[in-house]
Amino acid sequence: MNLHFFKVLLAICKVTFSEMIRDKVLYNIILVSILLLAIGFLASQFSFIRPERVVLDFGLSAINLSCALIAILGGSSLLGKEFERRTAHVTLSHPISRAQFVLGKYFGLLSVVLLNGLLLSIIHILILSYTSYEISSVLHKTYFVALTFILIQSVMISALAILFSSFTTTSLSVIFSIGCYLVGNNISQLKYLLTKISHAGGKFLLKVIIFLFPNYEYFNLGFKVTYGLSVSWMNVLVSLTYGICFTCFVLFLSAILIELREV
C-alpha cells in the first residue's frame, strides 16, 4: 500500500462524513438519544437508593442504541444510493479500486458513529457527575470498558450494514441489519433453546444460525457496570479480537461483492 492509496481513502472518507453530517436522520437519532439521557436523569430523581445507577443504565442503553441506529441506517444506504444515483460510476471511473471505495465509505460512516458516541458519552458523564456525590465510584474502569465495547460493537454493525448494502436494496439492508442486531444480542437465549430442542433438523438449523450471526453479547457487560465489578483483561482481549476479526472479514467480503457488481 502506497501513500496514494491512503490519500484516496481519506478523500472518500471526508466526502462520506460531510454527506452524513448533513443528513437530518442523524440529528433526529442524536436528539432522541439526548432525550433518553434526560429521561434517565428524571427517573433517577424518583429513586432514593443510588440514583446514579439509574442514570448509568439508562445512559449506556441510550448510547448503545444511538450508535447502533446510526450505523444501521447510515450504512444500509451508503453503497446502494451511490449506485442508484450513479455517482459510484463516476467515482470508479477514476483510478480508484472498489476496495478503496468500500473502505473509504466505511471509515466515513465510522467517523460519524464514533463522534456521536463521544458526544453522548461526554453528556452522560456530565449528568452522572451532577447526580452522584461520589462520581469516582461510578466512573470506574468497568464503565469505560463498557463504552469501549459499545464502540467496538458499532464498528461491527457498521461493517455488516455496509456488507448488506453492497448487494441488496436499502430497505432490505436495514431489515437484515436490525435482524442481526436483535439475534446477535440474544445468542445466549438461542443456546438455551438449543438444549430444549429434541428434533435433529431443528438443532442443526439453530446451530447454523448461532454460528453465522455475530455474537454481540461479547460486548454486553450487564450488571457488572451497574455494580462496578471488575472485567478481566482476558475477557477484554477476547472481545476485542473477536470484534476486529469479524469486522475485517465482513469488509473483505463487502469488497469482493462490490468487485462482482456490474457498474
* Angle at the Cα of 79 from the Cα atoms of 75 and 81, rounded to 5 degrees: 105
Q: Bigger pLDDT: 47 or 247?
A: 247
- Residue 7, pLDDT score: 80
Q: Is the pLDDT of residue 46 over 90?
A: no
Q: Is the pLDDT of residue 243 over 90?
A: yes
Residue-wise pLDDT for 135-192, tens only, equals 656 567 788 888 999 999 999 999 999 999 888 888 899 999 999 999 999 888 888 8
Q: Bigger pLDDT: 84 or 187?
A: 187
In 54-140, beta strands by DSSP E: none
In terms of C-beta density within 10 A (0-12 exposed, 13-18 middle, 19 or more buried), how is residue 133 classed?
exposed
User: Which H or E run contains 16?
Assistant: helix 3-21
Q: Taking residues 240-253, report their average pLDDT.
A: 93
- Residue 48, pLDDT score: 62
Contact 173, 165 (CB under 8 A): yes
Confidence class of residue 245 from pLDDT cuts 50, 70 and 90? very high
Contact 149, 60 (CB under 8 A): no
Q: Cell numbers 447454523 correspond to what residue?
A: 208
pTM for the structure as a whole: 0.87
- Residue 95, pLDDT score: 63
Domain boundaries defined on the chain: 3-260
- Residue 153, pLDDT score: 94
Residue-wise pLDDT for 48-66, tens only, equals 666 677 788 888 888 999 8
Residue-wise pLDDT for 91-140, tens only, equals 655 666 777 888 888 999 999 999 888 988 888 888 887 776 566 565 67
* CA distances for 190 relative to 156, 209, 215, angstroms: 20, 9, 11
Contact 197, 203 (CB under 8 A): yes
Which value, to the nearest 10 degrees, does the dihedral of the CA atoms of residues 157, 93, 10, 153 take? 0
User: Which H or E run contains 55?
Assistant: helix 51-78
**Alpha-carbon distance 83 to 89, whole Å?**
7
Q: Is the pLDDT of residue 223 over 80?
A: no
- Residue 42, pLDDT score: 76
The mean pLDDT of the chain is 82
